[in-house]
């Protein structure tokens, strides 16, 4: 938890308590349903929570914005972002039911009121969103194909027009080329000092 507070210092008491509860909850659930790599569970706050919050570090979603988390897995980046932005509505989507169960249980346990879940594919939500977020789910071109028709034009953040914001790692040259898109890449190593973020990026595609 301290690593989060090294970079973000203006949490309410409720937000602080919600972040603090994540370690015990994910440790418990991970023993039943493997949603986080066993070797990473002890680094939950750095490799999962702080990584998710790289999005919050560069994009301040407006109150009332609607955000969908594509392939949320165990709830990343959606759960940390929902704690960070309590006045933003989040829909966390995954095609694997047991992962959605973990998300629902964690969100309920920490009292998140701004999270809804869906077991299924993001193309089938039947909803329109301001932003989509994602972490290591699919190539950029595929993500954009799934979500572009479900994003409304507009500007529900201080920094960016509505669009797709995803977390990716490694050399993205070929992936970006194949996508046919012109994304903006933000090195996370320029946001957070931790060595684990050396080759990781926040990738933004405007609607």
- pLDDT beneath 70: ranges in the chain: none
pLDDT value of position 136: 83
Domain boundaries, the chain: 2-206
pLDDT value of position 162: 98
For residues 37 and 43, what is the distance between their CA atoms, to the nearest angstrom?
A: 10
Which string of DSSP letters, residue by residue, matches 66-129? EEEEET-TTTTTHHHHHHH-TTSEEEEEES-HHHHHHHHHHHHHTT-SSEEEEES-GGGS---B
Domain 2-206 falls under CATH 3.40.50.150: yes
Known binding-site positions for S-adenosyl-L-methionine:
71, 76, 122-123, 135
For residues 27 and 154, what is the distance between their CA atoms, to the nearest angstrom?
A: 39
pLDDT value of position 199: 96
Token reading at 1: 């938890």
pLDDT value of position 131: 98
For the whole prediction, is pTM greater than 0.95?
Answer: yes
pLDDT value of position 37: 81
For residues 207 and 203, what is the distance between their CA atoms, to the nearest angstrom?
A: 13
pLDDT value of position 114: 98
pLDDT value of position 38: 77
Known binding-site positions:
71, 76, 122-123, 135
């Amino acid at each position: 938890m301290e690593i989060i507070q090294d970079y973000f210092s203006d949490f309410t008491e409720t937000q602080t308590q919600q972040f603090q509860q994540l370690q015990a909850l994910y440790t418990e659930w991970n023993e039943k349903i493997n949603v986080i790599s066993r070797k990473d569970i002890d680094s939950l706050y750095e490799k999962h929570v702080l990584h998710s919050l790289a999005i919050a570090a560069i994009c301040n979603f407006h109150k009332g914005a609607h955000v969908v988390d594509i392939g949320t897995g165990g709830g990343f980046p959606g759960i940390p972002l929902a704690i960070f932005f309590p006045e933003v509505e989040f829909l966390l989507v995954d095609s694997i039911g047991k992962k959605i169960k973990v998300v629902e249980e964690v969100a309920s346990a920490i009292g998140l009121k701004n999270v809804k879940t869906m077991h299924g594919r993001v193309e089938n939500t039947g909803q329109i969103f301001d932003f989509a977020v994602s972490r290591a789910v699919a190539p950029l071109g595929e993500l954009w194909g799934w979500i572009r028709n479900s994003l409304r034009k507009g500007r529900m953040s201080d920094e960016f027009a509505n669009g797709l914001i995803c977390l990716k790692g490694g050399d993205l040259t070929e992936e970006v080329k194949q996508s046919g898109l012109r994304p903006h890449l933000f090195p996370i190593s320029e946001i957070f000092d931790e060595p684990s973020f050396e080759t990781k990026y926040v990738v933004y595609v405007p609607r």
